[in-house]
Structure 1
Amino acid sequence: MDFNDTPEEAAYRAQVRAWLDENAPKKALDLTDMEGGGSMAASKAWQAKKAAAGYAQITWPKEWGGPGGTPIQQVIFNQEEAAYPIPPNPFQIGLGMCVPTVMTFADEDTKKRFVGPALRGEEIWCQLFSEPSGGSDVAAARTRAVRDGDDWVINGQKVWTTGAQFSDFGIVVVRTNPDAPKHKGLTMFWVDMKDPGIEVRPIHQMSGGSGFNEVFFTDVRVKDSQRLGAVDDGWRVSLVTLMNERLAVGGATGAGWSQFLEAARTVPGLDGAPALKDQALREKLADWYVQAEGLKHTRNRTLTALSKGATPGPESSIGKIVSAVQMQELAHTAIEMLDQYGIINDPELAPLKSAFHGSWMMAPGLRIAGGTDEILKNIIAERVLGLPGDIRVDKDVPFKDMPTGR
């Protein structure tokens, strides 16, 4: 691994820093929570500014509004941008997962209609995959689409859809052939989220926000021209989206081991001495430090691969599964360490502006988003370690004959 920039990368980093110094916000804006949409105007303005300068999607080809840059250039920009108090990013799912799928499978007119506006932040997309009875098994979709002349009629329910309440469009995977095995009877479409047959119900989370949604389809009529890929070939199309999702979701953020160390130095323990003097707590802290260093070097491996023009493999799944579990364990221990003060979730009163509380409430969702722990362990076992795959008894069973648990 080489942790240093090449001369070309160093020059690009300097160029990015100069542009950000001139154009990025200098202080955090007093905006309402992203989930409420109050910061949307600022987010769209920042996205438009990046697009105009060629920094919105650096790896996209010039014909679609990008500069045709390299993946490592995108990483460099992301690293530098993170140092500034930029607005929230409601475009990540659209630009990272949905629009690349449209660019791969849609006709030219559709691509010309949607790629530019999405890149400039004028329109927002969501991904409609997960269902109440399917969990992380995308191929278990029961939302149906029935052919009616040149149209399709969609009925069913999706859940866990991030940002659906403020999205303009979405991509949805539906069951079009119940007589085929579950992976072979799916089709993907793009849909207008403002269609009167689509109902979005935000899910109230324990954090107080509503980032995720239930989405109901009732006789939603879509044109066959809205189909992405061939009929009943939606699983192959979905894989393109899912591969992008693994990279877009990435690792966990939030209060880490260094913030915990800072708090443990001042919070009193059982004997009145700083909590950091507790040997059991110090052992946990050492474990988290080792995990964090391992994740850092795993990411450095990915960066090295990108720098050399290689494509990172399924080992990128390691980052989320380790960091999300660590986030949950660390936040839980921190709140316990704070004793009765751990119940205070007021950023004005709680240590580190209640960062531990935010991590604790976000971690369970992060362990589901982008693939559950179990899904990611299977990916690592089968594709990184080369272990035998799980036995799948439903592989060749027609979907209509699969048990439903009723």
Structure 2
Amino acid sequence: MNRLSEEEFHREAAEFLGSYTTRRSGGTGRPVWGQGDDRVSVVAERAEGEQEEIARLKDYRAALDRAGLSWINGPAAYGGRELPTPYATAFRELESQYDLPDDGYTRFSVSTFCPALLTHGSDFLKTTYLRRLRTAELLACQLFSEPGAGSDLAGLATRAERRGDGWVLNGQKVWSSGAHYSDLGLCIARTNRDAPKHSGLSTFLVDMRAPGVEIRPIRQLTGGASFDEVFLTDVYVADDHRLGEVDQGWRVVVDVLLNERGAIGLESGLDEEFLARLVDLVRHTGAAGDTRIRDALADLHIRSWAARETTARMLAAGTPGPELAVTKLILTDLLRRAGDIAADVLGAALVADTGEWGTYAWSELILGLPGLRVGGGTDEIMRNAVGERVLGLPKDAR
């Protein structure tokens, strides 16, 4: 079979995107000051219009599937195109030039869960769910963290007990991003109380609308509610919805967390649109002549470029490993630095909404950053992972 050249694929992809939507600012990826949505948040946590944005995203993902672009490097058996990974990377870069819906609502489903399901799921689960997750027909969330088991995830208390041909789950999960709009939840629960804490765990695919599932959104500083508490009370899950072997769920969890860090890593460098918005803000506020601000902007651009190159080198090396924890640390550091620049030049306009386009909008980014520093593993845990598992330093006292 003849494989498309990269040039042929680029033409095909550009033709599809051009027929589906319009290019941003003449296709440069650079916004025009005063035009369009002025949000700069990198977290999908809209206080308003969430369902409308999800509907837009579902329509787009379905269109991608019809065009053979929903899983460019995925297996054909589940709707994939089986093209090399660089083709998928090139398509993401091309997408950034077009006006498309916020893909944050499918980030876990597509970038994190699908690879784990492909590795650990039965043929039944893969056939039933992979394509539907890639097309956003179904949305998924992660049911890992608990009130008493966040950073120490293996200390979780949610339990799963055998009941006939399935399992009954009881427990509480917290900080579950997008649980309130998800159809499925990947849940880890203890199935063997006598085993060491990293053993005796199993993973299940839970119907988020099943009897006994209660979801309570957690309101955040931004006004949005992207995180949820999830209570499981006698929730029945058939055994064919278990991922991996019984009592071997930690293997699934590790793969999910590595995939999650890899997905975050793909965005470890701030994109050109974001950086351009920040530069335009500096110009608009009259701070472009301030050498201190100019130095901070130059430093941010250099760090962002270095982040993209570092991540590309890590991903090109093969299967994502613990070193990808570095990419999440880089991303949160870059966003903090960007927020500091915005706060410096805006002053009171950061916290007092004057109605002026592109100013108060930066407050959402700054208020949402603490949540990003916790999601996917806290910055402190990421530093431990790098120190212990990458650099080989002595383990932190526990």
TM-score range, shorter chain: 0.7 to 0.9
8 A Cα contact 1:98 1:170, kept in partner: no
CA contact (8 A) 1:59 1:67 kept: yes
Quote the offset at 1:76 in angstroms.
0.8
Name the structure, 1 or 2, with higher relative contact order (CA <8 Å, separation 6+).
2
Whether 1:387 and 2:392 are equivalent positions in the alignment is yes
1:316 corresponds to 2:334: no
Specify the SS of the correspondent of 2:206. strand
Deviation string, structure 1 residues 162-204 (Cα, Å, up to 9, x no partner): 1111111111001122222211121101111001200011111
Alignment match, 1:271:
none
SS at match of 2:160: strand
SS at match of 2:374: coil
Query: Do structure 1's residue 230 and structure 2's residue 245 form an aligned pair?
Result: yes
1: distance between equivalents of 2:65 and 2:383? 37
Q: In structure 2, what is the equivalent of residue 262 of structure 1?
A: 280
* Separation in structure 2 between the aligned mates of residue 233 and residue 159 of structure 1, nearest angstrom: 22
Following TM superposition, by how much is the alpha carbon of 1:123 offset from its aligned partner in structure 2, in angstroms? 1.2
1:34–1:88: 8 Å Cα contact kept in structure 2?
A: no
1:138 aligned partner: 153
Does 2:48 align with 1:43? no
Q: Determine if contact 2:205/2:242 at 8 Å carries over to the other structure.
A: yes
Residue from 5, 10, 15 that aligns with 1:13: 10
Alignment partner of 1:356 is 2:368: no
Q: For the structure 1 residues 188 and 311, does the alpha-carbon distance in structure 2 shift closer, same or farther, using more than 3 Å as the test?
A: closer
Aligned to 2:303: 291
Shift of 1:74: 1.0
2:167 corresponds to 1:152: yes
Residues in 2 aligned to 1:326 and 1:181: alpha-carbon distance in whole angstroms: 38
Larger radius of gyration: 1
Compute the displacement of 1:14 (Å).
Answer: 3.0
Consecutive unaligned residues of structure 1, counting only runs of 5 or more, are 1-6, 268-273, 394-406
The alpha-carbon deviation at position 371 of structure 1 amounts to: 1.8
SS in structure 2 opposite 1:177? coil
The equivalent residue for 1:327 is: 335
Tell me what 1:401 maps to: none
Per the normalisation by structure 1, the TM-score is: 0.83
Would the aligned equivalents of 2:23 and 2:97 in 1 still touch at CA under 8 Å?
Answer: no
Separation (CA, whole Å) in 1 of partners of 2:191 and 2:48:
35
How far apart in 1 are the matches of 2:349 and 2:87?
44
- The 2-side partners of 1:120 and 1:266 are apart by 40
**Secondary structure at the counterpart of residue 367 of structure 1:** helix
Cα distance in structure 1, aligned partners of 2:283 and 2:124: 60
Task: Give the fraction of aligned pairs with identical amino acids, expressed as a percent.
Answer: 35
State the distance in 2 between where 1:93 and 1:283 align: 36
How many pairs are equivalent?
374
Equivalent positions of 1:198-217 (< 5 A) are: 198-217=213-232
Q: Please tell me whether residue 275 in structure 1 is matched to residue 275 in structure 2.
A: no
Q: Distance in 1 between matches of 2:9 and 2:359?
A: 35
* Secondary structure of the structure 1 residue equivalent to 2:199: coil
Normalising by structure 2, report the TM-score. 0.84
- How far does residue 339 in structure 1 lie from its aligned partner after superposition? 2.2
Secondary structure of the 2:240 match is helix
| Structure 1 residues 326 and 118: alpha-carbon distance in aligned structure 2, compared to 1, 3 A threshold | closer
Per-residue Cα deviation, 1:231-277 (whole angstroms, up to 9, x for no partner): 1111011112112111123336588555444333443xxxxxx4344
Equivalent in the alignment of 2:184: 169
Q: Any unmatched runs of 5+ in structure 2?
A: 25-35, 38-45
For 1:270, the equivalent position in structure 2 comes to none
Instruction: Measure the CA separation in 2 of the matches of 1:294 and 1:43.
Output: 31
Provide, for residues 12-64 of structure 1, a one-character-per-residue CA deviation record: whole Å limited to 9, x for no partner.
323322221223356879xx867731223221111111011111111210011
The one of 19, 24, 46 equivalent to 1:22 is: 19
| 2:78 aligned residue | 64
The 8 Å contact of residues 258 and 324 in structure 2, kept in 1 or not, is answered as: no
**Change over 3 Å in CA distance of 1:175–1:392 after alignment to 2:** farther
Is the Cα–Cα contact under 8 Å of residues 57 and 66 in structure 1 kept in the other structure?
yes
In 2, Cα distance between the equivalents of 1:300 and 1:104?
Answer: 23
CA RMSD of aligned residues (A): 2.9
Are 2:60 and 1:55 aligned? no
User: Take 1:365 and 1:68, find their aligned partners in 2: how far apart are those partners?
Assistant: 35
